[in-house]
A and B are shown apart, each in its own frame.
Chain A
């Protein structure tokens, strides 16, 4: 059976690529420390020595649109082109090509459907920065096949927070039942408090530092039930109008498991939003 060697949850900040590659007067003052933190975080994936990456993210109205909007979708393709014109325009993100892993995609689809998740699928999926940002931060050599899992945190009506946790738990079970000797890492990205296109956007820090503090503690301590007791679709409007992206963190808490404290936690308070990085080693430590 496959080995789940690392569970990684992270914010995805589309400005990291530009900030980390800028030089001279263009390099922002926070870039050096940000790069240091990201490189330390990257090491937590590297030492787990994965063979394949399950990547949880959310399309930001790029390929998926309101005329046909899936709640949860698994990519099943041999390759994934990545990043879109408006991401190049706004964030300077490069065009990328990632390899797929159709066998694991097929396994997740079959097992997910049989477990009660009516997963949509795509055989031609162009992925966006919710998945390419963690490739850039965690695996910049882009040498591993991926299985993209997209969630709808973006276009209401949305699934309930509990459903994200349930899907995370199911993904963990499905990986454990995959008849393969492969080493699998699950990497999911979301947001803490975040406002985009509203009056609280682009402030000196995230729009709700108190929420961020609580959220980091829920994630780091694996406190799924405590989190579910406070977080609802309605409550997520309060910390910022894009905070429903936190539900991707909740999915990753489901993968990591109730009460499982993260083996690695780091945060970085940037303008606009707080960065947060978590790694769990389900089998007690990465390969060193």
Chain B
């Protein structure tokens, strides 16, 4: 499990308007490209000093590629950054707060304690 890398995907996509639209329109292609081009970037280092060992596990890659935010929650992805990005992508398709309430309903099977989000 790489909760850190899941969060890194969600974080770096959420802060970039172009990546947000790319991930909304082509999630699988965006995840593939991101893992190849972005996963190893240390945000405060130059490109030649990238990380060499970060990889998604298959289930993580699939959850991202299918916009499966309940699966991301179950894996311990940070719930705030997940919510923020998915609101950014899909709120526009719903009535006000409609997406947020649907999001809660799709997580209704989760009970306390929630999955650990410690990285």
Contacts and interface: CB of A to CB of B under 8 A. Distances in A.
Interface of A: 60-62, 65-68, 84-86, 89-90, 154-157, 196-203, 237-238, 241-242
B4 interface: yes
Contacts, number: 77
Contacts of B118: 156-157
Nearest to B14: A86
Contact of B119 (A66, A203, A242): A66
Interface string B1-45: 000100110010011010000000000000000000000001110
B80 A61 contact: yes
A183 B15 CA distance: 37
A18 to B, nearest CB: 11
Contacts of A202: 97, 100-101, 104
B83 interface: yes
Interface residues of B, number: 37
Contacts of B56: none
Interface centre among A61, A66, A197, A238 (most CB of B within 10 A): A197
Interface centre among A154, A156, A199, A203 (most CB of B within 10 A): A199
Majority secondary structure, B binding face: helix
A154 B80 contact: yes
Contact of B100 (A62, A89, A201): A201
Given A84-B15, A85-B17, 18 more contacts: A61-B78, A61-B80, A61-B81, A65-B11, A66-B4, A66-B8, A66-B11, A85-B15, A86-B15, A196-B83, A198-B104, A199-B107, A199-B108, A199-B110, A201-B100, A237-B112, A237-B114, A241-B114
Nearest to B10: A61
